[in-house]
Amino acid sequence: MTDRRPERVYGILVREGQVFLRHQAGALGLPGGVFRPLADHRKNELKAHLYDQLGILADLIWAQGAFDYQAPGEAAAHFSGFYSIWGWEGEIPGPAGVWLDKQAVIDSNLAPSLRILLVSVLDTLAMRTT
């Protein structure tokens, strides 16, 4: 377990048994990106990426873990923090990406570590208590 500062932050948007993958650099990847050197809050930085890339205002954000991840279009893997997003305001534009269910994630050509993370998020039961 580490609290090492990530170089990138990515969001896993979850709705009705599906996760969202964004079209980027001719492939599918998670929305998010660089965690700027002077940024001090991971979730706020991720919220800014989600607004810039998808036009949504995210809330209900849970930390999910961190590992080396090479996003589409990047030349190398970077230590990345991953967060599941269970609620947001606004509509994600249809052409921005695709929603995948558990079987589609398993059948995808995503990196094994990312597939495992997405399946574990899809197997999570989130309930609003307030």
Q: Cβ-count burial of 46 within 10 angstroms (0-12 exposed, 13-18 middle, 19+ buried)?
A: buried
Domain boundaries, the chain: 8-122
- Give mean pLDDT, residues 113-125: 92
Whether the per-residue pLDDT at 35 is higher than 70: the answer is yes
- Give mean pLDDT, residues 72-101: 95
The per-residue pLDDT for 129 is 56
Cα-based torsion angle of the residue sequence 44, 111, 20, 122 in order, rounded to the nearest 10 degrees: -90
Confidence of residue 101 (pLDDT cuts 50, 70, 90): very high
CATH T-level assignment (fold) for domain 8-122: Nucleoside Triphosphate Pyrophosphohydrolase (3.90.79)
Answer whether 0.75 is exceeded by the pTM.
yes
The runs of H, that is alpha helices, within 1-124 are 42-54, 102-107, 112-122
Whether the per-residue pLDDT at 126 is higher than 80: the answer is no
The per-residue pLDDT for 2 is 58
Whether the per-residue pLDDT at 79 is higher than 60: the answer is yes
Whether the per-residue pLDDT at 127 is higher than 60: the answer is no
